[in-house]
């Protein structure tokens, strides 16, 4: 391996929107994520709609019965 061409991995903290934190290593600084394994519907088994731009609400309003 050639010296000084590979990125340096440093310990970082990943923070989820639900409040969970994870310690890992990355080339980036500490960062935040929207969904993690503790709050993702696939892993928790709970139904949760992840709506970022109001798409679900617009769909419901468009097709709601009068």
Residue percentage of the chain with pLDDT more than 70: 79
C-alpha to C-alpha distance for 34 and 36, rounded to whole angstroms: 7
Which of 31, 30, 25 minimizes the C-alpha distance to 7?
25
Domain ranges, ordered by start, for the chain? 1-50
CATH architecture of 1-50: Irregular (4.10)
Q: Whole-model pTM?
A: 0.52
What is the per-residue pLDDT across 22-46, written as a single tens digit (0 to 9) for each?
A: 898 999 888 888 888 777 766 666 6
Q: DSSP characters for 5-48?
A: -SPPPEEEEEEETTS-EEEEEESS--EEES--TTT-HHHH----
């Amino acid at each position: 391996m050639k010296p000084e061409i590979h990125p340096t991995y440093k310990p970082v903290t990943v923070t989820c929107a639900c409040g969970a934190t994870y310690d890992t290593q990355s080339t980036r600084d500490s960062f935040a994520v929207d969904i993690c394994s503790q709050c993702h519907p696939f892993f928790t088994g709970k139904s949760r709609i992840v709506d970022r731009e109001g798409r679900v609400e617009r769909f419901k309003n468009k097709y709601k019965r009068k």
